[in-house]
Amino acid sequence: MFQSAAIDVVRQILEPVDFFRPAHATIWHTLLELRKRGAPTDVIALTHQLRSTGDLTRVGGPPYLHILASAAVAGSGEYYAEIVRHHADLRVLQATAIQVLHGAGAPGADPGEVHGLLTASLNELAERARRSSGGRLHQYATDGWSFVNDAPTCTTPIWGTPGKAAWASGESLMLVGPPGVGKSTIAQQIVLARLGLLSMVLDMPVQEGKKVLYIAADRPSQLARAFNRVVHKADRDILRQRLVFWSGPLPASLNAEPQLLAELAAEHGADTVVIDSLKDVVGKLTDDEAGLAYNNARQQLLRGGAELLELHHQRKQGADVSRTQRPVLDQVYGSAWFTAGAGSVLFLSGAAGDPVVQLHQLKTVDDEIGPFPVLHDHERGLSQVDTSLNPLTLLRQAVPHGLTARQLAQRTTGEDKPSPADIAKARRRLETLTKSGHAAQETGAGGGTGGGQATRWKATTRHMTAVS
């Protein structure tokens, strides 16, 4: 009603017949007439025009028009038009299906005529989509040059630093682990940081957002108690205005209605959505169809500009699995499509109630985060990194001989025989410390095997003095 440019966009998507309520069809037709004449389209002008055509009482009168106007969300007209169009297309298909069913079941039914009816209806839907030149067939299409060159040259971290992000803008973060290892505790701190009440989580900065929608589908009462321990009366206005909780199950599973997640974010004006947890919003997690449908829901939300944090569970492990064993993506429960569409996957390994758990990044944005131990203070609702396994700390403790990349990998992973990938990662960390001046490299000979001497790194004296 208030923006002529919005009407010009929406008219490419919707026709009056797309509205389920006749009153809404009449109102939309009237808005189009006003716009065609270049007249204002606000409530006053709309009321005058409907009165002149004798339709004002039939659509609910001025009070109903003001109710519609008060429900408007600035800048969301195109998004809501797509919702109306979506349901209109479904109604057309439902009506066609009923006609086809009745036609096929009638005495002396002609298969050719029934098939023609079905084909004509589908062709009409396709033609309507083609006519909507500014609508869904073109809405997200971009020419190749713009697509390549308008994209940012590097990721923007929501949580982390450039080049070392735990969560990047435009990509979802999946936080995985068994029950009781502190997934919700860490998510809670990230939420508070998105609200500006914290600046760092696990020694990594968090970018402040605008509004968070927290889908507390799993144990909302327990979550409320957890938040109650860490917020204060001084935070009341921020929590009232910028944090919304959805308690319990959603109106439908996201694999059945993939558009629901984006609708919820738009309805509440949220730029951040937290799902706690995936098992409560998706039907059959092991079903690839469900995984694909959920990824559709995820990508629709991200495309709309909101950020997504997902809490999820691991597969049950056998008794013979070592707790120090490095986790892999296959340990994430459900279809592989859940992790395939995620931007970053963080895994918390440990047992329920452990004060110290291990954090691994199984799917990276750029350079890998961790692994490192996380200490939970459940009473205060805070978590911190145990710096005793920090590479620089270990290097300073290894005087005077220093460490090789293999030795560092052994200490950070807790494994006697670290994998080549862990050794390579340890070497990159030592090389980074060398570039920053915190370590000195002594190149070995013979590759460190068969009697050779491996390359070693030692903490530089000047930094050791500064610390002491």
Give the domain CATH number at 206. Answer: 3.40.50.300
- Is 155 contained in some domain? no
- Is 322 contained in some domain? yes
Total residues belonging to the chain: 468
Ordered per-residue pLDDT tens for the chain, 468 residues: 777 777 877 887 888 888 999 999 999 899 989 988 888 888 899 999 999 999 999 999 999 988 888 877 666 777 888 888 888 888 888 888 888 888 888 888 888 888 888 888 778 777 766 665 445 556 677 888 888 888 777 889 999 999 899 999 999 999 999 998 999 999 999 999 999 999 999 999 999 999 999 999 989 999 999 999 889 999 999 999 999 999 999 999 998 889 899 989 999 999 999 999 999 999 889 999 999 999 999 999 999 899 999 999 998 765 445 555 788 999 999 999 999 999 999 999 988 888 789 899 999 999 888 888 899 887 788 898 877 667 888 888 888 889 999 998 888 777 888 888 888 888 888 888 888 888 999 887 755 555 568 899 998 875 444 333
- Is 146 contained in some domain? no
Q: What is the pLDDT of residue 467?
A: 39
Report yes or no: 372 and 358 within 8 Å, Cβ to Cβ. yes
- Is 136 contained in some domain? no
Domain, as residue range, for 257: 160-385
* Residues 457 and 344 both lie in one domain: no
Q: What is the pLDDT of residue 5?
A: 72
- Is 154 contained in some domain? no
Q: What is the pLDDT of residue 464?
A: 42
Q: What is the pLDDT of residue 74?
A: 63
Q: Is 248 exposed, middle or buried (0-12, 13-18, 19+ CB in 10 A)?
A: exposed
Report yes or no: 250 and 263 within 8 Å, Cβ to Cβ. no
Residue type, 412: T
* Residues 276 and 359 both lie in one domain: yes
Q: What is the pLDDT of residue 130?
A: 64
- Is 364 contained in some domain? yes
Closest to 158 in 3D by CA, of 140, 170, 148: 170
* Residues 177 and 290 both lie in one domain: yes
274/174 Cα distance (integer angstroms): 10
* Residues 380 and 412 both lie in one domain: no
Closest to 354 in 3D by CA, of 116, 102, 182: 182
> How many distinct structural domains can be found in the chain?
3
Report yes or no: 269 and 228 within 8 Å, Cβ to Cβ. no
Give the domain CATH number at 403. Answer: 1.10.10
Residue where one domain finishes, among candidates 354, 385, 416:
385
- Is 150 contained in some domain? no
Q: What is the pLDDT of residue 136?
A: 54
